[in-house]
Chains A and B, each alone.
Chain A
Amino acid sequence: MENPIIETNRLTKRYRDITALDRVDLAVGPGRIGLLGPNGAGKTTLIKCLLQLENISEGSARLLGYEVGQEGREARTRVGYAPEIDCHIPGMAGCEYVTYCAQLSGLPFADARQRAHEMLDFVGMGQERYRQIDTYSTGMRQRVKLAQAIVHDPEILFLDEPTNGLDPKGQGKMLQLIEELGARHGMSVIFSSHLLHEVERVCDQIIIIGKGRVLVHDSLQTLRDQRKGAAELALVDHHDQVLAAFNRQGWPCEQLTNGNIKVEHGSTILNPVLEVLGKIKVTPIEVIPSPNALQEHFIQALRGGTV
């Protein structure tokens, strides 16, 4: 890959007996990258290792071409990070805090103050920016966290579970902002989440992590297009008739414990199944297509298995 923004080579992170990241090899190009995996999969640890917030036990990593561990400061100048945990500097008002963060990133005070207000506007903060952060609601804190992460105009934005604690409206707005940053403003976004639908909405590349290992790294479109060619049918009756019809076609099928029939028809579309059902004049209540590869991989990761 040309000009990867993130490169890892057998990146390993151990906490005493626990291996949080196990020989992770990645080459990630620019874009909106979803980091998917269940809680404890190693998503946050990967981000922390890349940002040098955690020491790497083995292997190496490069961020924007800079060697993590040796040129961390240079890399972090061009990176924004909104961590999952609540973090702010006590006793500061929202705009003061974002201004301070901009100054910490190297912006002169006048620029920092202007950018802080622009970013607070961008994330939808009103007059409450002049209140102390300690008094903010969860939603406001999440927005301020995003504002401080983008105030210095980073090339890569790391977002660790940015919608945690937000109501559906707040989640929608947050995802819209993230999408806008990536799609319209050319910022590469590493979006860590354990919620598949959020990642599907925002990202164009997916990395699925499970038990500290990268299970899948591909484009969203490719993963969506990969289907196993199976379906699940919910029927009122005629189960035996339907099973017999599928058997005649040579399709492996079985009746599940919930009464539904699972059939492996081998096609990426459902038409062959519907045709067979039409021939025997059975109308199903519901036809559930097999999950696509993305869903399957994610389910595997949730179950703790390997793909």
Chain B
Amino acid sequence: MNSPLLDIGYRHWNGTVQNVWVRRAVVARHTMQACLRGRVIRFLVAVTWVLSLVTATAYFAVGQILVPEGLLRPLFELIMDDKARRFVEGISAWLALYPDVTVRLVADLLLLHLNMILQTISFLVVTLIIPRLLTRDLASNAIVVYSSRAISRFDYLFGKLAGVLGVFSLCWLGPAILAWVLGNVVAPDWSFFWHSRSALGYTLATAIPSMVVTALLAMAISALSAKSRIAVAIWLMVWLLTPVFVPIANMTSDWVAYLNFSHVLDRFAIAIFDPYRDFLLARESLPFFNTLFGRLKESTVQSFGYSPLAGPAIGLLIVSFLSLLILFRRTRS
């Protein structure tokens, strides 16, 4: 037996036990630390922040081009032909008349686009962290360590969920919010903050439920097997193989497409951001816009920018329910 470092014998502890929220936070912090271990994960997180900066830059550039005294306007006028110049002048005029609609449209589209890219990167992150969520705890019987302490199965799962949401906050919600804040900070006018408020609201309304459901699904898949490879394989099947249901849905029923989880999230984002609504608003408020896109069929525009909320919302609820069911069944000691 090896020598202890400094054996002072056994002493009683007379401190005060912290409440259950602190213990849940301990589980969450440990989960986050475990998930963020590794260069690839950190690289992916860094990529999301770079994308956030790119989006903010694009927002800045659009703003600077649209306002007459914008920094990029002279450069733009120098390199663009007459047609492009007229287009920009038209939008500038629109901005002068309807700043709220213009800024909102630009911010909505940029953040919708960013949200979808961040979602894909978060799926990549999930692929890497899935064994670290519950799979390894099941394999090493760590679940017994948790269950025998002053935390319930609910506390354990709550802590794990909070940890995964913490990771998603770093690679999904955080970069999206930063893009909005930074884009508005560097915008030509402080009123951009106000006019683009819907984009922030839609981002929160889209990203938070999507993150929660994705986290629950990732945890459930992680709980399905005590072998890391199997858990990762199941996740990849859910992510990469279920898109096959989308073309099948075209031949059968629209509902079949909702068997694809990423399709559910995409449609949910579109239902919340509703680019079609912005398009109609733009067409109503600016004749120039109507001339430009008036020839497009209504159905074409709708298929791109419209989704009913009920389908994806029900899809998310079903995924959440099934995930919780799996989690509570699989995390018994």
Interface residues of A (CB under 8 A from B): 48, 51-54, 72-74, 76-77, 79, 81, 83, 85-91, 100-101, 103-108, 111, 115, 117-129, 139, 148, 150, 152-153, 169-170, 173, 180-181, 184-185
Give the residue of A76, A83, A86 whose beta carbon is less than 8 angstroms from that of B149. A76
5 residue pairs A–B, Cβ–Cβ below 8 Å: A105-B150, A107-B17, A122-B4, A122-B10, A129-B5
How does the 8 Å CB contact mask read for B28-57 relative to A, with 1 for contact and 0 for none? 001000100100000000000000000000
Sort chain B's interface into a size bin: 35 or more
Q: Which one of B63-71, B135-143, B265-273 is at the interface?
A: B135-143
* Chain B residue, CB-CB nearest to A122: B10
* Chain B residue, CB-CB nearest to A117: B5
Give the residue of A73, A86, A126 whose beta carbon is less than 8 angstroms from that of B2. A126
In the complex, what distance in Å separates the CA atom of A108 from the CA atom of B18? Answer: 7
CB-CB under 8 A for A90 and B148, given A111-B15, A122-B10 = no
The B205-234 residues at the A interface (CB cut-off 8 A) are none
Q: Which one of B19-27, B113-121, B309-317 is at the interface?
A: B19-27
CB-CB under 8 A for A185 and B1, given A53-B147, A54-B333 = no
In the complex, what distance in Å separates the CA atom of A233 from the CA atom of B20? Answer: 63
- Residue B246 CB within 8 A of the other chain: no
Contact B142 A106 (CB under 8 A): no
Give the residue of B5, B10, B145, B152 whose beta carbon is less than 8 angstroms from that of A88. B145
In the complex, what distance in Å separates the CA atom of A5 from the CA atom of B37? Answer: 43
Contact A121 B17 (CB under 8 A): no
**A173 / chain B contacts, CB cutoff of 8 Å:** 1
How does the 8 Å CB contact mask read for B319-333 relative to A, with 1 for contact and 0 for none? 000000000000001
Contact B333 A53 (CB under 8 A): yes
- Looking at A124, A170, A184, the one whose CB has the most chain B CB atoms below 10 A away is A124
Contact A89 B144 (CB under 8 A): no
Contact A125 B17 (CB under 8 A): no
Q: How far is the CB of B124 from chain A (nearest CB, A)?
A: 21
CB-CB under 8 A for A181 and B27, given A104-B149, A106-B18, A121-B4 = no
In the complex, what distance in Å separates the CA atom of A169 from the CA atom of B333? Answer: 32
Q: How far is the CB of B293 from chain A (nearest CB, A)?
A: 55
Contact B2 A121 (CB under 8 A): no
Question: Which 4 A-B residue pairings sit nearest by Cβ, starting from the closest?
Answer: A106-B17, A87-B141, A126-B2, A121-B4
Q: With A106-B18, A185-B10 given, can you name 13 additional A-B contacts, CB distance below 8 Å?
A: A76-B150, A83-B141, A87-B142, A88-B145, A89-B145, A90-B137, A104-B146, A105-B149, A117-B5, A118-B11, A127-B2, A152-B13, A181-B10
Q: How far is the CB of A277 from chain B (nearest CB, A)?
A: 47
- Residue B7 CB within 8 A of the other chain: yes
- Residue B83 CB within 8 A of the other chain: no
In the complex, what distance in Å separates the CA atom of A180 from the CA atom of B11? Answer: 12
In the complex, what distance in Å separates the CA atom of A122 from the CA atom of B13? Answer: 14
In the complex, what distance in Å separates the CA atom of A52 from the CA atom of B146? Answer: 12
How does the 8 Å CB contact mask read for B146-171 relative to A, with 1 for contact and 0 for none? 11111110010000000000000000
Contact B1 A89 (CB under 8 A): no
Contact B8 A124 (CB under 8 A): no
Q: How far is the CB of B14 from chain A (nearest CB, A)?
A: 8
- Residue B297 CB within 8 A of the other chain: no
CB-CB under 8 A for A87 and B4, given A54-B333, A104-B151, A107-B13 = no
Q: How far is the CB of B38 from chain A (nearest CB, A)?
A: 11
* Chain B residue, CB-CB nearest to A134: B140
In the complex, what distance in Å separates the CA atom of A108 from the CA atom of B23? Answer: 10
- Looking at B23, B139, B149, the one whose CB has the most chain A CB atoms below 10 A away is B149
**B149 / chain A contacts, CB cutoff of 8 Å:** 76, 101, 104-105
